[in-house]
Amino acid sequence: MESGARVRTDSKNILEIIRSYKGFIGDLSGSWEGDSYDKFNGEAESFIGECSSITSGMDSFATACETYSKYLEQKEMLKEIESALAIARKKNETNTVLYELGQKTTCEANIIALEALIKSSLESACSSTITEATAVTISAGEVPDISIAPVDVTALGIVAPGDDSLYVSTNCGYVFPIAKGIYAPVTSSVGPRSQPTAGASTNHKGTDIAVDIGTEVHSLYDGEVIAAGYNGGYGNRIVIRQTDGKEVTYAHLSKSNYYKVGDTVRAGDVIAKSGNTGVTTGPHLHLEIHDKDGTVLNSENLFSDNNSWPGNNA
């Protein structure tokens, strides 16, 4: 895309040239009068107005050029963040993964904002009057100062920077809901099963993870709380719609009032404590994951890196 500075310079020069010709036309009034002069002078005035509109459009185009440069910088930065995230996941560096996820979210938001600014600038360049409302409006020459703000790792549910108390799966990039060092084996898998107790399902939609009452439960990924509180056989439960579109239910909780509907959570946040509420045969966490289309996903497949279930590695 053309340099914004060059476009602005050309725009200024064009308008100055046109105005100088208008001044020349005005100088003719002393020696050339009558209807012909008046008509020519009127046409010149009209032309000046049109040129002003064109140069105003060029100024908006210059803004689009400058914003596009910012956009390319953010796209390149996103590639670097994703590369760093992949390396951190492979090394199972929990804090780094959570930090890079925060950076990735910010960078993606910047890209969306810049796309809207480019669209607005180009629409302004096409016409001095924008007939359609746009997501973002800016003044000519105003380019946003986009930069990634540092993310406070301690606000992501981690005890302190450098602490790797949480397991992050290299299969899916999700945080395992139970901290390292806590024995958390699977006691019931996804799929058909004999009814373990009255009222329990025979087609299990989640993975039951055996943990003591009061064990902290961590969010798998960034998302928004869409349900919280008591719900029949699930007991106390919290449901989070993740930013990747999946919906995750954490059920049979002893405490689930950390967050309310509409709250946002980050990967690794403590969102609840495990319990024995609802229809159960003993204390455990019921982890139920649905894909965007409603398909039930098996947590064991997602978290079993190298065929090893994290909860068995206490």
Residue-level pLDDT at 137: 42
Q: What is the pTM of this model?
A: 0.54
CA 38 → CA 25, 27, 186, distances in Å?
10, 13, 92
Residue-level pLDDT at 168: 86
Residue-level pLDDT at 134: 38
Contacts of 20 (CB under 8 A, 6+ apart): none
Residue-level pLDDT at 153: 38
Residue-level pLDDT at 100: 82
Residue-level pLDDT at 202: 72
> Per residue of the chain (314 residues), what is the pLDDT tens digit?
445 566 666 666 666 666 666 565 555 555 555 666 666 666 666 666 666 666 666 777 777 777 788 888 888 888 888 888 888 777 777 777 887 887 888 888 888 888 888 777 777 766 543 333 333 444 444 444 544 444 443 343 333 333 468 888 877 888 999 999 999 999 988 887 776 676 667 778 899 999 999 999 999 998 999 999 998 889 999 999 998 899 999 999 997 778 899 999 988 889 999 999 988 888 999 999 999 999 999 999 888 887 889 998 86
Matching residue, tokens 């405490």: 255
